[in-house]
Amino acid sequence: MKSENIVCEEWKGYRPNMPVQVVGVKNGKITSNGSGVEVFKNLKDAQNKFKDIDPKSNSKNFTWVMRGEVNGKDAGRFETWQANKMYSMEEQAFQDTMKEANFNARILPANLEDLEMKTLIVAIGSTVTGMLDKIKKNTGSNANPVSLQVIKGGDAIKSALKSKMDLKGKEALVAFFKETNKHFAGNAPALSSIVRKYKLKSDKYSGKVFAEQETKLRELVRSYLKKVSEKVDVNIPDNIVDLQDRIAQKKNDVLWWEKQLQKSRKNSLIAMRSMHHQQAKKDLKDLEKALKKAQKNESVEESIEEAKKSKMIPMEKYGAAFMVDNGYLMSVAMNRDGSLETFDGDLDWVEVTAPESQKFLDDINKKFKTKFKMDDFAGR
């Protein structure tokens, strides 16, 4: 015999291979008060424990399939009739609260600790209505995607806050704006009254509202980083070799801060790492500008001509020019201004006896088509 309660909203998106939530059960047994939930890999696994689960029709103990969620993904949801009754009563209580009054800033208590979620929830309906009125005034109708998005946003917030109706004080405020931030800016109708009432602040770019302590932390971090960036300008080297090294290092810094920023979730960390990222990009731009200027002003024609004549190759990365003479690797030091070291008017060549690493030799081998290894050198 089936229950007299009838659930008439079959979920059309259900698939047999989806995860399954069974609500109102615990340790394989139906609870008397509708509490408890068990999750199964699919319908077959759920039916192995609860035989009368049927996605297409209500049974004696369970509703037919409804939309649920497991780990953020769609799932089939079956409720015992006790659970269905309990959640239906909660839904009705929630809707009654929404209908109690139109939101007015005067209903907000002066003391934050006296604030209740039941009071805040009334603001959602006023927010949606106010935004729809503005859209209709500007476009002449609410039959458009923007209005639909506003309505869906309001419904999503209400759904997320249904289980948090008992929250009070700052806990209620933080939970409330955590959900509203996903859909509406802090200057939206009704929400702006709450922001002003409790002296909250919102991000001028995203419109998201932040709790008072978090806002103060963000301001302190931004203020500190701004002062640091204003006082410390990037150190610009005075030669091409050092400029190229600094540019390579600064590019790595930009990438590193970008990765840190992508991993950030806390607003305080996002603000701090964003400032570092922007500063690194600014430094890189300044260094690249200085390099172009140095290359334009630097005259290295004589060194280049001499290199061609003596079959040498300048390698600014290693601060020297190199050549291979009868199987021996030779080097001549490069000065800070890009010129090469001389002795009595000639280039001061010396044999390389202790190369710094195989990576250095790999670069040499690539340039001269040689096969040098670390073991080939006496100093090693």
Show the domain range for 60: 20-89
Residues of the chain with pLDDT under 50: 1-8, 93-101, 205, 212-217, 231-232, 299-310
In a domain, 223, yes or no: no
> At CA 83, angle to CA 159 and CA 87, rounded to 5?
25
Amino acid at 284: L
Co-location of 105 and 198 in the same domain: yes
Number of structural domains in the chain? 4
Co-location of 343 and 364 in the same domain: yes
pLDDT at site 302: 41
Gap between the Cα atoms of 93 and 120, Å rounded: 15
List all residues 6 or more positions away from 338 whose beta carbon is below 8 Å from its beta carbon.
239, 240, 241, 298, 300, 303, 316
In a domain, 176, yes or no: yes
Contact assessment for residue 44 and residue 100, using Cβ atoms and an 8 Å cutoff: no
pLDDT at site 90: 53
Co-location of 276 and 314 in the same domain: no
pLDDT at site 267: 61
Co-location of 266 and 283 in the same domain: yes
Considering 154, 176, 210, which residue would you say is the last residue of a domain?
210
pTM of the model: 0.35
Co-location of 306 and 236 in the same domain: no
pLDDT at site 152: 86
Considering 89, 116, 145, which residue would you say is the last residue of a domain?
89
In a domain, 220, yes or no: no
Gap between the Cα atoms of 343 and 360, Å rounded: 26
Beta bridge partners, 350, equal 331
Co-location of 154 and 200 in the same domain: yes
In a domain, 10, yes or no: no
pLDDT at site 19: 92
Buried b / exposed e over 233-262, threshold 16 CB at 10 Å, is: ebebbebbbbbbebbeebeebbeebeebbe
In a domain, 180, yes or no: yes
Co-location of 343 and 360 in the same domain: yes
pLDDT at site 9: 52
Q: What is the 3-state secondary structure (H, E, C) of 179-192?
A: HHCCCCCCCCCCHH
In a domain, 225, yes or no: no
In a domain, 315, yes or no: yes
> At CA 238, angle to CA 233 and CA 241, rounded to 5?
110
Co-location of 197 and 118 in the same domain: yes
Co-location of 24 and 61 in the same domain: yes
In a domain, 6, yes or no: no
Considering 89, 121, 147, which residue would you say is the last residue of a domain?
89
Co-location of 239 and 168 in the same domain: no
Residue 202 tokens, joined: 């919102």
Co-location of 76 and 34 in the same domain: yes
pLDDT at site 41: 92
Co-location of 193 and 240 in the same domain: no
